[in-house]
Amino acid sequence: MGVSDYRHIICLGTALLLGSQALAADLQPPGASAPLAIANLGAAREHNGQDSDADAAPGAGPFGSPLASSFAAAASGASPGAPVVRFRSERDAFRTGIRDYYSGDKASAVQALEYAATRGHSPAQWKLGRMYAEGDGVPHDDLKAFEYFSKVVEGSEDNPRRAVTRFISNAYVALGGYYLDGIAGTYVQKDERRAREMFHHAASYYGDPDAQYNLARLCLAGQGGARDAQLAARWLHLAAEKNHAPSQALLGHLLLTGQGNVARQTSRGLMWLTIARNSADPQKDAWIIEMYDQAIALAPERDRNAAQATAQAYMAQRSGRN
């Protein structure tokens, strides 16, 4: 191939690129923008992305448009339908995937997240696990969710950064839930002991309140290990101090009724139920509200008044600390 042939290809590529950019500009809605979206995992965040929004945008770079990408594929010798890698790193892919997810393009989000997940990016693995667990933008598939959460856990020792600990602890909790019931028709069998181990690791190593709550329930029921109400009360208290409403409610009920080696403490039990009622979400925590209403209706007035006073003092003190 001669020099003139190369010049012809370069000119053709430039024309295609400019034409595609003009076309993209014509199709862009007035005032449209693509702000960077950060995953709120029920409160987990990816803190470490340092790239700008423009750099992280799905079409960023000289081959950002569809026509230009096709030209790039042709010039590189790739087949016309082959996807062109457009990520500088797994972090870049994760940022793009999260932005695509929150903009409503979940198919593109999955592609970007899979790129990051296959390269060991824990938050991407976690997000895909959640999507498959909930059937969010993908077919519901508990086994795929289980396998993505397993990857997060398997890589946790190699990646102990604080920014990803929330993803890791949540993955342990998710795996505990799967082991507790098993996944029908798969190799994941019900294993209460393994479930208890998952919850215990997240509860003790990461201080995860969801794990502490689930572990306490297993201790109360004697699932996966010995029945121990006192140990359950300790785990519930740790989670309750983190303003975990289900733990506050269950701790209150445990103290109110007295179980096993936990002595009955009516006033203190009512106090925790009152705090739980204040923290409860009416849409999700109807059982907490019902438990509180029943306890208050049956309690003597003296105990109700004492519980209300101590609950208000506790919440005021907590508000002052925050």
Residue 201 falls within a domain, yes or no? Answer: no
Half-sphere exposure at residue 3, Cβ-oriented, CA atoms within 13 angstroms = 0
Which tens digits make up the pLDDT trace of 245-291?
A: 999 999 999 999 999 899 999 999 999 999 999 999 999 999 999 99
Indicate the pLDDT class of residue 128, thresholds 50, 70 and 90. Answer: very high
Residue 89 falls within a domain, yes or no? Answer: no
Phi, psi of 298 (to 5 degrees): -95, -15
Question: ∠ at Cα 175 (170, 177), nearest 5°?
Answer: 95
Which tens digits make up the pLDDT trace of 76-100?
A: 333 344 344 589 999 999 999 999 9
Residue 299 falls within a domain, yes or no? Answer: yes
Residue 317 falls within a domain, yes or no? Answer: yes
pLDDT at 289: 96
The DSSP annotation for 174-236 comes to HHHHHHHH--TTSS----HHHHHHHHHHHHHHS--HHHHHHHHHHHHHT-SS---HHHHHHHH
pLDDT at 104: 97
Q: What range does the domain containing 259 cover?
A: 244-322
pLDDT at 320: 74
Three-state DSSP at 262 gives strand
Residue 128 falls within a domain, yes or no? Answer: no
Contacts of residue 194, Cβ cutoff 8 Å, sequence gap at least 6 = 179, 224
DSSP category for residue 309: H
Three-state DSSP at 259 gives strand
Residue 275 falls within a domain, yes or no? Answer: yes
Indicate the pLDDT class of residue 160, thresholds 50, 70 and 90. Answer: low
pLDDT exceeds 60 at position 75 = no
Largest CA distance in the chain: 98
Domains identified in the chain, total number: 1
Percent of the chain with pLDDT over 90: 67
pLDDT exceeds 70 at position 5 = no
Instruction: Tell me the pTM.
Output: 0.72
* Burial of 179: CB neighbours in 10 Å, binned 0-12, 13-18, 19+: buried
Indicate the pLDDT class of residue 163, thresholds 50, 70 and 90. Answer: confident
Among residues 222, 200, 220, 224, which one has the least CA distance to residue 210? 200
- Ranked by mean pLDDT, the top range of 36-50, 160-174, 275-289 is 275-289
Residue 154 falls within a domain, yes or no? Answer: no
